[in-house]
Chains A and B, each alone.
Chain A
Amino acid sequence: MSGLGGLDRPGAPASPGAWDERSEEWLATETLVPETDAAETGVAGTPVAETGVRESRVDAPPTSQEPTGSRTTAPRPTPTRRTGADPVKALMHRHRDLCERAVDPLEIAAGLEAHGVTDRTAARFLHRDVFSLAEEMYARVARDGETPPSPPRLPTPRARADWILLTLLPGALCAAAVTALHLTHGQSRLIAAAAGALAVTLALRSALARGPLATTHATRPTATRTCWLLAYALLGDGLLQAAATGGPDTLPTGTADGPWPLTTAPVLALALSCAPAAWCAHVLAVRARRKLSASRALEDFATAVKPLLLGTFALYLGALTALLTLTTTALDEPAAFPQTLTLGALLLLARLLTTHGFTHAPALVLTATVTAEATALTALFTARLPGCAWLATPVQSLIDAWGPAAIPTIACGVGASTLLLHAARTLTRASAHTTADQSW
């Protein structure tokens, strides 16, 4: 680097302001062919630059000052080139993307080096090294007037046919199973019931394995608890009623009018509501992502998401009510709105929380609900032991006051409202909606 004096240095502008303006006009009038990398130069195959931009790329004529000291080329007359008075400006123009994008001088330095600018090139711009050249470029980029680019939309999950079909499957299978129960008798009804239960369970499993209700987090196993709750919805009220009146004397016959009646309508409605549940979760995810990209502060996001969450929840409850009305009418069973709606709410909220990574609370609340229901049943049966009759008193008085549906309604209702409060706190956090890399 000793012999730089011999290089054809461009003169430094005496008064930067005027030169800037002039060269700006001059640059603007030229046809600009920004040169991005060596490939384009090569492709163009033009050994001599013809645009203003490239002219000011200061090609020092081959000189005798090769750093190796090996004299390779004789000085030759420079082709007549107009050299911009402000070579750094031209360089900035050539790398304007880099300059505008750069967040600090080192980024410009890295970018320049990737484009083949070395310290020896920087010397032609009267700089000691690439770093100081980059610093000048960084300092000269006008940043005040520019508006920050509109934030890019975050990718939102798309509704896909596979999970939509899968969420329809439990409802369809459950409807088939209920039909089979109604059409068969005796042994074959038992088989149909067993097969139906198995099929619906498997379908539920697969419906929850993908789509908006799937979870990528390590979850606590809540399948047993969910199954218990569903089984209670199917058999529990009948059993409770029978137990309260001294039964049951036989196993359920699979009809709604035996001594231990089966309430299939709520379960069918819940199975059918898999699809709206998935859709609600999907809507929540998509809208939350939109709100995420639109909000500037975490508080804004929380405020914007809360009504969304509640709206989605209400939407699901509405859908479940409609489905329940439908199934009750179709199966001609007594309406069981309170216990089914609370159970649906509980299951949806538990799943939503699990999906967003909050696995602790749902597991806890589900366990509590299951325990409450089981305790009620056990209390009734234990009360038959001599001296324990007092155990049945609270349950019995509940049943006497509001009927057997009171037990699951209260248990699920308390659980669901706990989870709703929890969800209103946790699902409105921005960090709950970060899992953008879900494949669905």
Chain B
Amino acid sequence: MLVRIGLIAEGGYPYVNGDARLWCDRLVRGLGQHEFDIYALSRSERQEDEGWVPLPPQVSRVRTAPLWTAEEDSVVYGRRARRRFAECYGELVAVLCAGGAGGAGGASGASEDTSAIEADRFGNALYGLAELARDEGGLVGALRSEAAVRALERACRARGALRTAREARVPDLLAFAAHLERALRPLSLDWYEDDNLGSVDLCHAASGGSAALPGLLAHHFCGVPLLLTEYGVRLRTHYLAATDSSPAVRSLLAAFHGRLAAETYARAALVTPGNAHARRWQERCGADRAKLRTVYPGMDASRFAEVGEAPECADPDTLVWVGRVEPTKDLVSLLHAVAEVRKEEPKTRLRIIGTPSGPEGAAYLGHCRALAAQLFPDEAEGPHTVGDNPVSFEEIGSPEIPTLADAYAAGGVAVLSSVVEGFPISLVEAMFCGRVTVSTDVGAVVEVIGGTGLVVPPRNPRALAEACVALLRDPERRERLGAAARARALELFTVEQNVAAFHGIYLEIVSRTPVRRVVLNGAGAPLPFAVPAEAHVPGRWTERSARLVARGGPARPTDAPVRAGALPRTEAAR
């Protein structure tokens, strides 16, 4: 059946320099049988200026809104609206001052009930503010007003507030009020009407945090089910990013993001983490295990097909490392490991292929080059030939290595020596190329590699060396593991599996939690049987060619019933 999907991205998809645009683009292009409405929140003026990527025809509408700026509309609240705002906002900040959902994971018994009540209060306050914004407008101005700061101060000084919140000073209050205003900007959007997010069959938020807010509100206002995809957990990103504020601001912000994440996980129909690491965080933040479906990110396998299908072209004595040069990649450890390997297998060479990221990476690369020159003297085949260093530093795009696939093709064994890693993309690429890998046990490495490569503890050059030697000496095992790795990658990490997984998830959500819309006639009264059964069969039933009118059957009414969305009345969508 045709599903109309509202894809909500923050700083992402349709923008040329968006974050997850490649993934979203593949998803939208891969699911041509569905219809997509894109709702994009832009992160900066520059992002808006740089424009959009070309959109496929299945994108029927794009709506954008800036997150980086908010105009105050000149709405001045009356007494009733002011009181409503004060109630909702006071409730919201009171919940935040009472602490985040962070500790809720380990709570049990009575405190679990309390935390459920608190979560409920948070949700109610949030939706209350959203309803206020929808009814009256002017929420931006209200969030910036003195009344908001006063409510915040009262909440911070209230009994039972967090210790850090009690210590909040006036600048902290102002800073947090400003943060909250920025975070709640999606509440003021006009996306939650029946002709916008109310008209889609499901909302797909491409990340947590701000992008999930419109989805939450669409769920609240119009009952649209929400699908949340998180490749990196937004809450965790927030913890790592916000370090320069005062403790009071950070604790309140942490509470807000924690509560928001918990609310999103609770309301979402399904949550799809990108790997087990994200999944653990989501479970920790209160996501129901039954709602979680890990969908691995998809990568384009066709680039590596040629290399992957010809494993014999590899140089058996060469180790290859591909990636961006950064201190967290621990190349020093790798160089020491190779020094150990060369004691046992003197013919071994190492090719480090990658560009430094940032000035820190450049300095690190220089340091690694110096270390390589110290550890490995240049060597030549005979007394009359020019020597060369067994460790080479190269970049993709050089004449020897024109493409990424050639980088992996250059070696018999791919090595990953990181001490910190998220989802190891270079490992997946090596697997696509059918190369056996030796990697450190960090991040999602074990999850990605399965049993198809060797894993050693991080910061252990000796273990890394021993694993490499074992593989260098055993070509058969190398080939076997390489083939297994390629098979595993093709099974799990292709774009096709990603798209197919989302296709299935869309259908599952739509079949389990369909949006029931009442169709109204011109006078605003509900029309029974106005949504025909054809709406639920495959294909675009609205197209003329797809219409099957039984011969002799009743003639279709001339004035076609309109969907509730076309009318200004909104309550029909409940």
A residues neighboring B (CB under 8 Å): 37-39, 41-43, 45, 47, 59-60, 62, 66-70, 72-74, 76, 101, 103-107, 110-111, 113-116, 118-120, 129, 131-132, 135, 143, 148, 151-152, 154, 218, 292-293, 295-298, 300-301, 429-432, 434
Check: B514 CB closer than 8 A to any chain A CB.
Answer: no
Evaluate contact between B164 and A103: CB separation under 8 angstroms: yes
- Please judge, given known A-B contacts A104-B100, A107-B239, A110-B240, whether A70 and B455 are in contact too, CB under 8 Å: yes
**Can you name the residue of chain B whose Cβ is closest to the Cβ of A114?**
B240
Name the segment of B7-15, B197-205, B242-250 touching the other chain.
B242-250
28 inter-chain pairs at a CB distance below 8 angstroms, sorted by A residue, are A37-B327, A38-B328, A38-B420, A39-B360, A42-B327, A43-B367, A62-B457, A69-B451, A72-B454, A74-B466, A76-B462, A104-B103, A106-B239, A110-B240, A114-B420, A115-B420, A116-B420, A148-B247, A151-B171, A152-B246, A218-B71, A292-B171, A293-B170, A295-B169, A297-B157, A431-B177, A434-B144, A434-B178
Of B240, B254, B456, which is within 8 A of A111 by CB? Answer: B240
Of B106, B146, B250, B280, which is within 8 A of A430 by CB? Answer: B146
Evaluate contact between A67 and B462: CB separation under 8 angstroms: no
Cβ of A301 to closest chain B Cβ, rounded Å: 5
B interface SS class: helix
Q: Number of B interface residues, CB 8 Å?
A: 76
Evaluate contact between B463 and A73: CB separation under 8 angstroms: yes
Cβ of A38 to closest chain B Cβ, rounded Å: 4
- Please judge, given known A-B contacts A38-B330, A104-B102, A131-B284, whether A68 and B455 are in contact too, CB under 8 Å: yes
CA gap between A103 and B172 in the complex, in Å: 15
CA gap between A286 and B442 in the complex, in Å: 50
- Please judge, given known A-B contacts A292-B170, A430-B170, whether A104 and B251 are in contact too, CB under 8 Å: yes
Cβ of A368 to closest chain B Cβ, rounded Å: 19
Evaluate contact between B235 and A430: CB separation under 8 angstroms: no
Check: B336 CB closer than 8 A to any chain A CB.
Answer: yes
Cβ of A60 to closest chain B Cβ, rounded Å: 7
Of B146, B157, B449, which is within 8 A of A431 by CB? Answer: B146
Query: A-B pairs with the 9 shortest C-beta distances?
Result: A39-B327, A42-B332, A103-B251, A110-B239, A72-B467, A62-B463, A116-B419, A38-B419, A104-B102
For the complex with contacts A72-B466, A131-B280, 16 further pairs of A-B residues with Cβ separation under 8 Å are A38-B327, A38-B328, A39-B327, A42-B332, A47-B461, A72-B455, A76-B462, A106-B236, A151-B171, A151-B246, A154-B171, A297-B170, A298-B150, A298-B170, A431-B144, A434-B144
- Please judge, given known A-B contacts A106-B254, A152-B246, A431-B146, whether A73 and B456 are in contact too, CB under 8 Å: yes
Evaluate contact between B458 and A116: CB separation under 8 angstroms: yes
Which residues from chain A contact B148 at a C-beta distance below 8 Å?
Answer: 431
A interface SS class: loop
Which residues from chain B contact A131 at a C-beta distance below 8 Å?
Answer: 105-106, 280, 284
Cβ of A181 to closest chain B Cβ, rounded Å: 42
CA gap between A430 and B150 in the complex, in Å: 9
CA gap between A368 and B454 in the complex, in Å: 82
Which residues from chain A contact B470 at a C-beta distance below 8 Å?
Answer: 72
CA gap between A188 and B251 in the complex, in Å: 69
Which residues from chain A contact B144 at a C-beta distance below 8 Å?
Answer: 431, 434
Which residues from chain A contact B173 at a C-beta distance below 8 Å?
Answer: 298, 430
Check: B346 CB closer than 8 A to any chain A CB.
Answer: no
Interface 1/0 per residue, B397-430 and A, CB below 8 Å: 0000000000000000000000110000000000
Cβ of A138 to closest chain B Cβ, rounded Å: 9
**Can you name the residue of chain B whose Cβ is closest to the Cβ of A45?**
B332
Check: B72 CB closer than 8 A to any chain A CB.
Answer: yes
Which residues from chain B contact A151 at a C-beta distance below 8 Å?
Answer: 169, 171-172, 246
CA gap between A59 and B173 in the complex, in Å: 44
Evaluate contact between A120 and B460: CB separation under 8 angstroms: no
Which residues from chain B contact A295 at a C-beta distance below 8 Å?
Answer: 169-170
Which residues from chain A contact B457 at a C-beta distance below 8 Å?
Answer: 59-60, 62
**Can you name the residue of chain A whose Cβ is closest to the Cβ of B252?**
A103
